Amino acid sequence: MRLSAALAAACVLTCGAVAALAPETAAPAFLGMAAPLVVGLATIRLVERTVRTDVSRLTARMAAAFAVKLVFYAAYVSVVIGLIQVELAPFTLSFTLYFVALQIAEALYFRTLLVNADAHASGGH
């Protein structure tokens, strides 16, 4: 849970800094940050719970989550760009940067989480 709080704080603080430096980009930057953060936090929760309860189901759950993410992101970006009509450049930059940064953070965390789970399952600490 500490990672989730740290990621949320980092995203909100960096997005706030962008908004302070360039107030006209506040809404697009926030919308670009919001979806990757929410999806990232949900993914972390899913993986943590699965590793705790039944790690053998992790691949199936991550595959299903991937499919849901594809649909969600397509719908989200369509709504933000098509209906809300935010400024495209700051939204795209924000979305891309937060998406990539959060994916990297998740991957590194999941690697550590799975190594620790494997060590625990094999009797080592």
Closest CA to 90 of 35, 23, 8: 23
So what's the pLDDT on residue 72?
98
Confidence band for 45, pLDDT divided at 50, 70 and 90: very high
Q: State both tokens at 21.
A: 């430096």
CB 97 within 8 A of CB 40: no
So what's the pLDDT on residue 122?
72
Give the C-alpha separation, 11 to 7, whole Å: 6
So what's the pLDDT on residue 124?
60
CB 37 within 8 A of CB 7: yes
CB 35 within 8 A of CB 76: yes
Mean pLDDT value across the chain: 94
Question: What is the average per-residue pLDDT within 83-93?
Answer: 96
DSSP for residue 48: H
Confidence band for 125, pLDDT divided at 50, 70 and 90: low
